[in-house]
Chains A and B, each alone.
Chain A
Amino acid sequence: MTRGFKLDPRTKLIVVLCISTLGIVAKDIFDLLIVLTLSILVAKFFKVDIIRSFKKTKRLLYMLAIIAIIQSIFSSEGEAFLSIGNFTVLSTLGLEKGLQFIMRMMIIIFSATIITTSNSREIVQGFVQWGLPYDIAFMVALGIRFLPLLTEEIKDSLTAIQLRGIEINNIPIRERVSVYSYLFTPILAGVLLKAEKLSIAMEVRGFRAYDNRTSYLVLKMSKWDYLIIFISIIFTICYIVFYFH
Chain B
Amino acid sequence: MKGLGFIELRDLSFEYKKDRPIINNLNLKIQKDEITAILGPNGSGKTTLGKLMMGILKPTEGQAFILNKDISEMTLAQIGSKIGYLFQNPEKQFFANRVEEELGFVSRLKGYDEDYLEDRIEGLLRLFQLEHVRKSSPLLLSQGEKQRLAIATILINEPKYLILDEPTTGLDGERKRLLVDLLKELVDRGIGMTIISHDHSFIKQLFQRVIRIYRGEVIYDQRI
Contacts and interface: CB of A to CB of B under 8 A. Distances in A.
Given A178-B109, A182-B105, A163 B94 contact: no
B97 A185 contact: yes
From DSSP, what is the main secondary structure of chain B's interface residues? helix
A165 B81 contact: yes
A182 B91 CA distance: 14
A180 B92 CA distance: 15
Contacts of A162: 75-77, 80
A144 B97 CA distance: 30
Interface in B84-98: 84-85, 87, 91-97
B2 interface: no
Give the one of A162, A164, A178 with max B CB within 10 A. A164
B79 interface: yes
A159 interface: yes
10 contacts: A162-B75, A162-B77, A163-B76, A164-B154, A166-B106, A167-B77, A182-B96, A185-B94, A185-B95, A186-B91
B54 interface: yes
B93 A164 contact: yes
Contact of B109 (A160, A163, A179, A186): A179
B56 interface: yes
Interface string A132-175: 00000000000000000000000011011111111111010001
Nearest to A160: B93
Contact of A164 (B54, B56, B106, B139): B106
A161 B92 contact: no
The 4 closest A-B pairs by CB, nearest first: A163-B80, A162-B76, A182-B95, A165-B81
Contacts of A157: 92, 95
B55 to A, nearest CB: 9
A78 interface: no
Contact of B91 (A167, A178, A190): A190
A167 B74 CA distance: 11
Contacts of A171: 109
B53 to A, nearest CB: 12
A189 interface: yes
A163 B54 contact: yes
From DSSP, what is the main secondary structure of chain A's interface residues? helix
A175 to B, nearest CB: 6
A159 B56 CA distance: 7
A165 B95 contact: no
Contacts of B110: 165-166
Contacts of B153: 164
A164 B152 CA distance: 11
Interface in B80-133: 80-81, 84-85, 87, 91-97, 105-106, 109-110
Contacts of A179: 109
B157 interface: yes
Contacts of B87: 156, 160
Contacts of A164: 77, 80, 93, 106, 153-154, 157
Contacts of A189: 91, 139
Contacts of A109: none
B95 A161 contact: yes
A169 B78 CA distance: 13
A140 to B, nearest CB: 28
A42 interface: no
A153 to B, nearest CB: 8
A17 interface: no
Interface string A183-227: 101100110000000000000000000000000000000000000
